[in-house]
Structures are given as C-alpha cells and as structure tokens.
Amino acid sequence: MKNASMILSHLTGQPQFKYLKRQKCYQKYISLLGMKWQKAIAFVYAKNDTLFIAVTHPGFKMELNYNKDLLKSVLTQMANHDKSCAFLQVNDVIIFHSKYRPLPKETKKEETIPYYHELASSNFTITVSDPDIKAKFEETKSLIQCNQ
C-alpha cells in the first residue's frame, strides 16, 4: 500500500512537474534567510543564471541591494549541500519591487461585548453628615446592588 509521501514523490519526479521541485528549492532558500528578509521577500525565481528576488515593499529593495553578495553566497551554499537544488547556480542577483504577492488571509473579526461581573460590595456604612454626599453614596450603593 502506498502512502501519500510516496505518491507525491513519484508525481514530482515526472518531467511535467519539474517546476514543483524548483518551487520547493526557492521556498527552502527563503527559509534559510533571516526572519526579517523572509517577510520582505514576496517570491523568488531564477532565469538565465540570474536570481530574481521580488520584495513586498520598496524600502526593502535598498537593504537587499546592499547584501547581494550574501544572498548569492547563501544560494551557492544551499546548492552545494542539497543536490536536488544543484540547478540554482547564479551569476547575478536582481531585486525588484512587486505588487503581486500572496496577501495574508483576512480573519473575520467578530465584535464582542465585554461582560464584567461587579467586584464591589454594597455592604458598607455611610458616616457622612452632609445630605447631598449621603444621597450620592446611597445611589452608588443601589447601583452596585443592581449590577450584582
């Protein structure tokens, strides 16, 4: 009996699914980078010995341009260690801003009404001689009893 991983490995080994192997290598490459750069990179692809890196915001483009050598060396080391990604030998790195990227899934926010239980107690004595202040204390006492 074949399990799911055997079926998937058989399917990805066929020539018409060679792009799935490449996509897996690209995802592995992105995961090797730092968390800040993982969030900055929308997608990656290689063509004609050039690595194209699409960023999600133009501000990241300048920072990644300063680190092109590091990006290239990480890719070269990954290709040396992982033989299934040996096709990723690049000579140049081009970084560009792309408005096309997978958007995060929106979660449906349900509005909730907070319900609080009254923590105060209405068992207190009022020792005030002023009738206005005493009336306010009595009103507060009755509100506490209603909220319990």
> What are 36-84's pLDDT values in tens digits?
888 889 999 888 989 999 998 888 888 889 988 888 999 889 988 988 8
Residue 91 has phi, psi (to 5 degrees) of -110, -20
**Is residue 113 one of the residues assigned to a domain?**
no
Q: Does position 21 have pLDDT exceeding 70, yes or no?
A: yes
pLDDT given at position 103 = 59
pLDDT given at position 112 = 72
Shared domain for 126 and 62, answered yes or no, is no
Domain assignment of residue 128, given as a range: 118-148
pLDDT given at position 1 = 66
Which secondary structure element, helix H or strand E, spans residue 45, and what is its range? strand 41-47
% of the chain with per-residue pLDDT over 90: 11
The CATH number assigned to the domain holding 62 equals 3.30.300
Higher-confidence residue: 73 or 114?
Answer: 73
% of the chain with per-residue pLDDT over 70: 92
The string of DSSP letters for 71-99 reads HHHHHHHHHHH-GGGTT---SEEEEEE-S
